[in-house]
Copies of this chain bind each other. A is one copy, B any other.
Amino acid sequence: MHVKGANRKTVLEELKRFNRQDQKYDEGKILCSMCTKPHPIAKKAYLMFLNSNLGDPGLFPGSLQLEREVINELASLLHGENCVGSLVSGGTEANMLALLAARNMANVKDPEVVLPKSAHFSFTKICGMLKLKPVYVDLDDSFRVDLSKVEACIRGNTVAIVGTAGTSELGVVDPIEGLSDLALKRDVYFHVDAAFGGLVLPFLPNGGKFDFQLPAVKSMTVDPHKMGMAAIPTGGAIFRDTQTIDHLKTETPYLTNRFQYTFVGTRPGASAASAWAVFRLLGVEGFKKIVDKCMKTTRLLTNELKAARCCLVTEPTLNIAAFRSPKGTKHLAQSLWQRGWFVSYVPRYDCIRVVVMPHVQNQHALAFLADLRDIEKI
């Protein structure tokens, strides 16, 4: 820190210089992120509640009410009745809270979690922290977890099984209904990581059953700061019942609430306001329109990729396209990066991944395809 401060104008000018180095979603070159530009109303709402702290909710009852309404809306979208939960820092915290509740509830020696090989990398982090042994299960030909192999992995010390409704790498939805049946039969905690898909699948014509309508689903992760277009950080941890979150309870000795059920203590009320505002402005119809547009752009992209002799890893369920080049996928990714396209290269599947978030317009997809054809000389 300098001894003397700078004047306001200088500080803002310097900040603008840093800001210019950051990529801008509007330019349509960010094809690798599950986040997007917050909706304009989310931005307005965030700013209005910037001072609010949900970690001390007695001071901010308006913000607390917004959080409750967002949780209720997420729960009802996911067919949950009388669910409870919190807005948290993101998918990692939500997934962690679920596994922590499951671990504490089971209270067994050498606890294990059974999860698909395609589960989000945060689970590795979480299992390390919580001293859970992750038991990774192979996928079938459609990149969904293999149910019979999951069953074979469930043992007396299995505290939870996990399914993903929209994997980060391919946007694939695991056989959640089958996993729920299995969890019921074997009486084990079942968590669904729908961080991404939880705000896409409910708006698709054939989203399928992936949520609390399946009786074994105990908890779900769903992040408004992904397809919910809320500002970062706005994650969602939803639990079927209060008995589950009792296992997360920490006493707070001097705050305006008596207990906390989140990992993070001081939490921005602005997150709740930003998610609430988007939900209220768009409604189900508004979300359907946006998801529909993203899916149309995804199909445009995948059709053209096929025409350009690229091969899809799998037909998209969600607004994520993953493909390979017959001429070498990693090389294609590098060439695309050189031209300023931010795509992910996924070593595990040797594929390029494109996430068609709301900021990705048809024109961006077409410009991307033109560059790809130029590189591939097709």
Contact = CB atoms under 8 A, between A and B. Distances in A.
A94 to B, nearest CB: 11
Contact of A264 (B3, B11, B22, B92): B92
A255 B11 contact: no
B41 A11 contact: yes
A338 to B, nearest CB: 14
Nearest to A169: B254
The 9 tightest CB contacts between A and B, nearest first, are A21-B62, A5-B283, A18-B62, A254-B344, A22-B60, A22-B62, A5-B286, A23-B59, A2-B283
Contacts of A73: 1
Interface string A210-242: 000000000000010100000111010000000
A84 interface: no
Contact of A285 (B5, B235, B347): B5
Interface of A: 1-8, 10-12, 14-25, 30, 32-33, 35, 37-38, 41, 43-53, 55-56, 58-63, 65-66, 73, 76-77, 89-93, 96, 100, 104, 121-122, 124-125, 128-131, 168-169, 223, 225, 231-233, 235, 250-256, 260, 263-270, 273, 276-277, 279-287, 342, 344-348, 353
Contacts of A168: 254
B43 A50 contact: yes
A53 B255 CA distance: 30
Contacts of A121: 250-253
A156 to B, nearest CB: 19
Contacts of A225: 266
A51 B37 contact: yes
B250 A35 contact: no
Contact of A62 (B11, B19, B231, B345): B19
A266 B232 contact: yes
A344 B255 contact: yes
Nearest to A111: B131
A353 B254 contact: yes
B2 A284 contact: yes
B266 A91 contact: yes
Given A6-B281, A55-B90, 11 more contacts: A1-B287, A5-B285, A5-B286, A6-B283, A8-B281, A22-B269, A33-B56, A89-B93, A169-B254, A232-B268, A253-B346
